[in-house]
Amino acid sequence: MLVNKVLIANRGEIAVRVLRACRELGIPTVAVYSEADRQSLHVRYADEAYFLGPSPARDSYLRADKILEIAHRCGADAIHPGYGFLAEREDFARGCEDAGIVFIGPKPSSIAAMGDKTTARATVAKAGIPVVPGTEGEGNLSDEELIRIAAQVGFPLLVKASAGGGGKGMREVRTPEELPHLLQAARREAEAAFGDGNVYLEKLILTARHVEFQILADKEGDVIYLGERECSLQRRHQKLLEEAPSPFIGSDETLRRTMGEVACRTAASVGYYNAGTIEFLVDKDRKFYFLEMNTRLQVEHPATEMITGIDIVKEQIRIARGRPLRYRQEDVKLSGWSLECRINAEDPYNQFTPSTGRLQLVFVPTGPGVRVDTGVYSGFEVTPYYDSLISKLIVWGETRAEAILRMRRALEEYRIIGVKTNIPFHQALLESPRFLAGLFDTRFVEERFALNGETGGEDYHPEMAAIFATLMEHQSSQRAAQIMQPARQAASRWKWSSRGEGKGR
C-alpha cells in the first residue's frame, strides 16, 4: 500500500498531531479547512491546504464527497481521519477504499462490527470476552422482550442505545416500574441522535472504574497492547483528565496482563488492524467487563505515548502501508507516569458553558516532561462551531507524585487570556485528596467534587494521609517546598483574570 501523500480530514490539535507524524516520516501533507478555520494552525502547518465549505461540520468536515474529490485533485493517496467527524464512519472508510485511497484506520467491516454496540457485545461474547450481564444476541428486541429480560438481569440496570457510545441515549433504571417509560425515553433520544432507536440492557455496575487499553494491530493479524489509561474523571461523559497507567491497576501486573490479552483478543475477533482502544469497566472486586471498542486514534493517546515511547500515529501510518508491527509484546516497556489535562474553552464557574472569542495572549508551558498538543495560538479566534478542546497538556514523571507536581507547575505556567478555560477546575482537581489518593470512580467529578473544595468529606480514608505525606516528601526532596506560597498567589491571580474580572477583559 502506498502512502506518499496524506490528506488530513480533520482540524484543531489532532490535525496538527497527524501533520507532525507525517512530517517526521517525510510524507507530504494536505489540510482541508472550513470558513471558521482559515487561520487555523493545521492550515498553516500543511504543505497544501484546500477549502471545504461553510463553518458547520456538516457543510465542511463531514462532507465525505468533497474530501474525496480534493484527495483526487491534489494526488493524495491516503486519508487520516483523526477522531470524531468521519473517523468511525464505515461508509467513508469504504468510500476511500473504492476510490483507491488508503484509509489510515481499520477495515470498514471492523468499524461496523464495533459501531453497533449490540453486535459488538454479541461478537466479543462469542470470542469468550467478559461482557456485563444483560441482553444477549444481535437481534433488535421489543419493549416486551426487554421487560421480560430485565427481570432476569435485575435492578438497577442501564438502558443503552445500540448506535450509541459515549453515554448518549443511556438511562439508569432503578425499579421495574420505571422501565417502560425509560425505554421509551432512551429510544426517542437514540432515534433523534443516531436515526436508530434500538436499545439493549446491562446490569448497572456501581463504583466502577473506566479503564481502557491501547492496542496496535497489523494487517498480518498480530496484535499488541500498550498498557492502559484511567479515564474515570469525566463530566457528562466528557473526559477531563486521563492518566497512564491506571492507579487502580497500579502494580497488579497479573490484572494488567490479563486485561491486555483480552483487549488483543477483542481486536482480533473483528479482524482489526490500526491503533484501537478497548474500554472496560472494572468493579470494586477487580472484575472487568468489555464496554465498547473505539476503532480510531483517541484524544488521550499521548498519555500512552509518554509511558511507552511509541509514536502511535506513525505506527498507524506504517500499519496502513502494510508493514508488520515493529514491536513484539515483550518489547513494550511501561516507564513512569503520565497525566493529560484536556484544556477546554469553557467556564468552569458557570456549568462549563463554552466560551468563545479571540485569544489575546497564550503562554504555553514547556520544560522537562511537558508536552502540549494544541491547534491554537495568540490571536486565534475560538468559534462555537466545534468542540471546546483547545489544547491538551500532557506531563511525564518518574512516579505519579512527580507527574502531579509537574502538572501543577505546568498549569500555573499556562496563561490563556481572551476566553475562559477549565484550567482552574484542573488545579482544584490536582489538590483534591481523593484524586491524590487515586480513590475515585466514574461518579466522582459529578457527585463529589466541587471547585470550592470536595463535598461529602464523611468518609475519610487513611490512604489519603499517606498519599499527602508521600507528595510532600517528594516535593521537599525536590526542594520545591519554598515556592508553594508564591505559586498559589500566581494561580489565584490568574484565575481572577481568566474569570473575566481583570482589566484585560
Does residue 208 touch ligand MV4 according to CB under 6 A?
yes
Does residue 411 touch ligand MV4 according to CB under 6 A?
no
Minimum Å distance from CB 107 to ligand MV4?
23
Does residue 132 touch ligand MV4 according to CB under 6 A?
yes
> Is the bond preceding residue 56 a cis peptide, omega within 30 degrees?
no
CB nearer to ligand MV4: give 218 or 243: 243
* b/e per residue 256-275 (b: at least 16 CB within 10 A): beebbebbbebbebbebbbb
CB nearer to ligand MV4: give 281 or 416: 281
- 425 CB contacts (<8 Å, ≥6 apart)? 240, 348, 451
How many Cβ atoms sit within 10 Å of the Cβ of residue 39? 13
**Residue 296 annotated to the active site:** yes
CB nearer to ligand MV4: give 321 or 443: 443
Does residue 212 touch ligand MV4 according to CB under 6 A?
no
Minimum Å distance from CB 207 to ligand MV4?
9
Out of 28, 166, 336, 354, the only residue in the binding site for ligand MV4 (CB under 6 A) is 166
- 343 CB contacts (<8 Å, ≥6 apart)? 374, 389, 390, 391, 392, 393, 414, 416, 421, 422, 423, 426
Out of 30, 32, 281, 319, the only residue in the binding site for ligand MV4 (CB under 6 A) is 281
Helices (H), 26-156: 41-45, 64-74, 90-98, 108-115, 117-126, 143-153
Beta bridge partners of residue 224, listed in sequence order: 216
Distances in whole angstroms, Cα of residue 8 to Cα of each of 20, 32, 50, 89, 180: 11, 7, 11, 15, 45
Per-residue DSSP letter, 131: B
Classify the C-alpha dihedral 72-78-84-87 as positive or negative: positive
Does residue 339 touch ligand MV4 according to CB under 6 A?
no
Does residue 298 touch ligand MV4 according to CB under 6 A?
no
Does residue 158 touch ligand MV4 according to CB under 6 A?
yes
> How would DSSP label each residue in 418-484?
SS--SHHHHHHHTT-HHHHHT---TTHHHHT--TTS-S-TTS--HHHHHHHHHHHHHHHHTT-GGGH
Binders in 422-461 for ligand MV4, by CB under 6 A: 442-443
User: 434: closest CA among 457, 401, 405?
Assistant: 457
Minimum Å distance from CB 1 to ligand MV4?
32
Minimum Å distance from CB 440 to ligand MV4?
11
Closest residue to ligand MV4, Cβ-based? 442
Parallel, antiparallel, or unpaired for β 48-53 and 199-203?
unpaired
CB nearer to ligand MV4: give 75 or 176: 176
Three-class DSSP category at 232: strand
Three-class DSSP category at 240: strand
Minimum Å distance from CB 383 to ligand MV4?
28
Does residue 214 touch ligand MV4 according to CB under 6 A?
no
The number of helices, as runs of H, and strands, as runs of E, in the chain is 17, 22
Minimum Å distance from CB 445 to ligand MV4?
8
Does residue 294 touch ligand MV4 according to CB under 6 A?
no
CB nearer to ligand MV4: give 247 or 397: 247
Does residue 205 touch ligand MV4 according to CB under 6 A?
yes
Does residue 125 touch ligand MV4 according to CB under 6 A?
no
CB nearer to ligand MV4: give 71 or 281: 281
Does residue 202 touch ligand MV4 according to CB under 6 A?
yes
484-498 and 400-413 helices cross at what angle (nearest 10)?
50
CB nearer to ligand MV4: give 167 or 309: 167
Q: Which residue has the cell 477531563?
A: 240
Does residue 63 touch ligand MV4 according to CB under 6 A?
no
301-308 and 312-320 helices cross at what angle (nearest 10)?
100
Out of 75, 137, 139, 167, the only residue in the binding site for ligand MV4 (CB under 6 A) is 167
Minimum Å distance from CB 442 to ligand MV4?
3
Question: Of 17, 296, 371, 434, which one is the catalytic site residue?
Answer: 296
Classify the C-alpha dihedral 156-163-259-125 as positive or negative: positive
Q: Which stretch binds ligand MV4 (CB under 6 A): 44-52, 93-101, 199-207, 245-253?
A: 199-207
Minimum Å distance from CB 292 to ligand MV4?
6
Does residue 239 touch ligand MV4 according to CB under 6 A?
no
| Per-residue contact string for residues 216-235; x = within reach of ligand MV4 by CB under 6 A | ------------------x-
Catalogue the active-site residues.
296
Q: Under the rule (CB under 6 A), what is the footprint of ligand MV4?
A: 132, 158, 166-167, 202-205, 208, 210, 234, 237, 279, 281, 291-292, 442-443
